[in-house]
Amino acid sequence: MRWLVALLGWVVLGVSAAVTLDRFLPYVGRWPVMAAAFATYTLIGFALALLLLLPLAGRRGWARPWYFAGATVALLGIGLQGWLVAPLYVGSRAGTATDLTVMSANLEVGGGDADTVVRTATDRHVGVLVLQEVTPSELTALDASGLAQLLPNRVGTAQPGVRGTMVFSTYPLTEQGTLPLANGGLAVQVAAPQPFSLLAVHTATPTDDVRRWAADLRTVRDHAQESLAAHRPLLVVGDFNATTDHALFRRVLATGLSDATAQANSGWQPTWPTKYRRSWYRPLIAIDHVLTSRRYSARSTSTVSVPDTDHLALVVTLQRRQ
């Protein structure tokens, strides 16, 4: 029985260590990218490995030093992952005033429930709404639910399939161009009381085309750098198909952007998938994001269930910094 416990401990430790290492490597391969998306879960793996190997390290025998070494690696892994996750829970937060509320939702090829989207935007006093995978029929349903009256300004075009990325707002919008992303993207100027730039993004899915996914994230990074270099307040919003465990996504953040969920200390908020083949399937990873430049600070973030789509909507309240 002891050998079985030891084998399980070493396997769990090895997998956890490999996935953690994968987080730091800029590999552009389908399986490494998919594994990196789940790197946060290695915190559980390291904890399990420690529970399995530490008791064995207390037994006499030739393998005792090896069990002790394995337990030490597991403990270090717990510390590392804890340090990486800590910003989601601990840190400085913005004040109590809300200057802007932003919402992002992927409607899964126009399947998302329009009433829920509009009701959420109404109840949360959303000023800027970024939607992905808006089809012509979905746009008709959204307007029938009152979106045109609630957020009368819009840019982008509804399209069949997954390329329909659109922005809706209470403020006048100026489309400054499209982003050459696989699933659609927009560069927008928002004429709020304090005007700002907005990148609405929907990158390729790495499971379908990992190289295009990597190219899309580089495109987002380059456009973000361009906007920040012009000293314009910037929000980057949408479905990145990437988590903070992906090195290429962290390079986007390295331009001077912050993830709103970490800014607001909102904790772990996975947004995908909300459905698969069984009703009990729950979100596992956070691939929908609102990124802010230094002119904005996130007060709060929350997710909202939208029927008939595989993403949770993300709602963020922001405070403008002086």
Per-residue pLDDT tens, the chain, 322 aa: give them. Answer: 777 988 999 999 999 999 999 999 877 788 999 999 999 999 999 999 999 999 987 777 777 889 899 999 999 999 999 999 999 998 766 667 789 999 999 999 999 999 999 999 999 999 999 999 999 999 999 999 999 999 999 999 999 999 999 999 999 999 999 999 999 999 999 999 999 999 999 999 999 999 999 999 999 999 999 999 989 899 999 999 999 999 999 999 999 999 999 999 999 999 999 975 455 567 999 999 999 999 999 999 999 999 999 999 999 999 998 7
CB 42 within 8 A of CB 20: yes
Q: How many domains does the chain have?
A: 2
Note whether residue 93 is domain-resident: no
174, 307: one domain: yes
Residue where a domain terminates, one of 34, 62, 88? 88
Tell me: do 139 and 40 sit in the same domain: no
Residues 274 and 143 in one domain: yes
Domain end (from 63, 88, 113): 88
Check which CATH number belongs to the domain holding 168 and give it. 3.60.10.10
Same domain, 133 and 266: yes
Q: Which structural domain, as residue segments, surrounds residue 37?
A: 2-88
What's the CA gap between 48 and 10, in Å, rounded?
Answer: 10
Q: In the structure encoding, which two tokens stand for residue 293, read together?
A: 């430049």
Asked whether residue 258 is domain-assigned, the answer is: yes
177: Cβ–Cβ under 8 A, 6 or more apart, which residues?
Answer: 186, 187
Residues 122, 250, single domain; the answer is: yes
Which DSSP string do the residues of 219-250 spell out, in sequence order?
Answer: HHHHHHHHHHHTT--EEEEEE-S--TTSHHHH
76 and 138 fall within a common domain: no
Query: 115 with 200, same domain?
Result: yes
Q: Are residues 77 and 129 in the same domain?
A: no
Query: By the 8 A CB rule, do 264 and 300 touch?
Result: yes
Residue 78 within a domain: yes
